[in-house]
A = this chain, B = another copy of it.
Amino acid sequence: MLVLIVMNFKFSELVGYMKPSEIRELLKFASSPDLISLGGGMPNPDTFPIDEIQEIITYVLKNSGKYALQYGNTGGLNELRTEIKKLIKGTENIDSEEKGIIVTSGSQQALYSLGKILVTPGETAITEAPTYVGAISAFNANGVDMQGIPMDENGMRIDLLEKKISELKAKGIKPKFIYTIPNYQNPAGYTMSLERRKRLLEISNENEIPIIEDNPYGELRYHGPRIPTIRSLDRDGNVIYLGTLSKVMTPGLRIGYTVGPVSVIEKINILKQALDLATNTLAQYIAYEYLKRGIIYKQVPKTIKLYSRKLDLMLKALDEYFPEGSTWSRPNGGMFIWATLNESLDTTAMVGRAIKNNVAYVSGSAFYPKGEKKNSMRLNFTYPEDDQIPVAIDRLSKVIREEESLAEAK
């Protein structure tokens, strides 16, 4: 049963902060077929272009089988890098030569590599708070002291960033990078305003701190205008840009890419020789054909249509069911809504009750480098079926109300 559970949501993400005995207890309930998970970070498999991938693989194995199953070079398939170069120029107005691009085994590998290359263990870097849980684990594994900057509906609070940099400066500390997910942030769903992007670049320049711009969700835009990527606004080579095909093709093929100064790309290349030698060659051929044939441009609008509908369903259900005193983000894209409950509640402690009531989420504390906030949660709207969404939110609302009653009774 465990396979199915993990397929439904990243269980480790959900229970990473629990005791083994608690996990065992939960697993009994988590295998229930009635469980609706809002906990995962997974694309909806209805968006997977399975037939097109089947066709591509048949073509690739017939024409290039001996290459597509052989070791590839560490930097990535050259033809794929050329297609990525065209993709980011066309969609995000990013200019780069092929040698400024490296293919990675998912963006996760890029995050780990940058954590290792840019930081000596014990040194400081800046992230948003909350931020992507995979970035936290990648930076933690490299001994990075993460300083989180709070966000609002316009993204990272740049005024607080400046304050933090000054404070650190006074202690003789210079952060080694600033990590941001500017579009439809995971987990918060917020998007950084154009004004803040420009100011962030100025701060990066003034203080000589590189920016890591992670943009997995940029193409999943349902409302609002497209805001230029920070990398496309950068004139000084201060931005390292991370992209992925996980949300616009399929995640199981593990194709990410990093665009940056050649000196940084070369360092990632050397590290990647030690990490995994090279990314899966067949997956790179699939990605190459997927981009070259332009399938991505037919696929993404379908995905947007599906996810946009699910987002609206969840926002409607939240308006209808969620208890007073709760607030939540209203994202213009991406995969997640961030909800903040009454301050007396601890969403980590509440996970067990939620799962027993057949609904799952990820508690907010997982997304803070130092686990500060206790009363928030991340809700995924892309994976559940349409008709499951109001049911799940209704269940969750009841669980929250129960917790509130208990908290009051204490």
Q: How many copies does the complex hold?
A: 2
Bitwise interface map of A from 121 to 148 toward B, beta carbon under 8 Å scored 1, else 0: 0000000000000100110110000000
Q: Provided the pairs A65-B50, A282-B253 are in contact, do residues A2 and B70 lie with their beta carbons within 8 angstroms?
A: no
A252 touches B68 (CB 8 A): yes
A48 located at the interface, meaning its Cβ lies under 8 Å from any Cβ of chain B in the complex: yes
Residues of B within 8 A of A273 (CB): 12, 134, 137
Q: Check B250–A278 contact: CB distance below 8 A.
A: no
Contact partner, A277, options B3, B53, B134, Cβ 8 Å: B134
Interface flag for A365 (CB, 8 Å): no
**Which stretch from A54-62, A167-175, A343-351 is at the chain B interface?**
A54-62
A195–chain B nearest beta-carbon distance, Å: 34
Q: Which of A41, A105, A116 has the most CB of B within 10 A?
A: A105
Whether, in the assembled complex, A186 has its beta carbon less than 8 Å from a beta carbon of chain B, the answer is: no
Contacts of A141 in B (CB 8 A): 116, 271, 274-275
Residues in chain A within 8 A of chain B (CB atoms): 2-3, 6-7, 10-12, 41-43, 45-46, 48, 50, 53-54, 57-58, 61-62, 65-74, 77-79, 105-106, 108-109, 111-112, 116, 134, 137-138, 140-141, 246, 250-254, 271, 273-283
Q: 21 A-B pairs, CB-CB below 8 angstroms?
A: A2-B78, A3-B73, A7-B73, A12-B73, A42-B71, A45-B65, A45-B67, A45-B69, A45-B70, A48-B65, A50-B65, A54-B57, A57-B61, A72-B252, A105-B280, A108-B276, A112-B275, A252-B282, A253-B280, A275-B276, A276-B276
In whole Å, how far is A335's beta carbon from the nearest beta carbon of chain B? 12
> Which of A12, A62, A71, A279 is most buried by chain B, counting CB atoms within 10 A of its CB?
A71
How many whole Å from A103's CB to the nearest CB in chain B?
12
**Given A108-B275, A112-B274, residue A7 in contact with residue B280 (CB < 8 A):** no
* CB pair B279 A70 closer than 8 Å: no
Given A54-B57, A61-B54, A253-B282; A277-B108 close (CB under 8 Å): yes
> Closest B-chain residue to A246, C-beta based?
B71
Distance from A114 Cβ to chain B, minimum over Cβ atoms (Å): 12
A7 / chain B contacts, CB cutoff of 8 Å: 67, 70, 72-73
- Shortest CB–CB separation between residue A54 and chain B, in angstroms? 5
Question: Are A74 and B12 within 8 A (Cβ)?
Answer: yes
Cβ 8 A contact of A250, one of B48, B70, B253: B70
Return the 8 tightest CB-CB contacts between A and B, nearest first: A252-B281, A45-B66, A69-B250, A141-B274, A50-B65, A6-B73, A137-B274, A69-B252
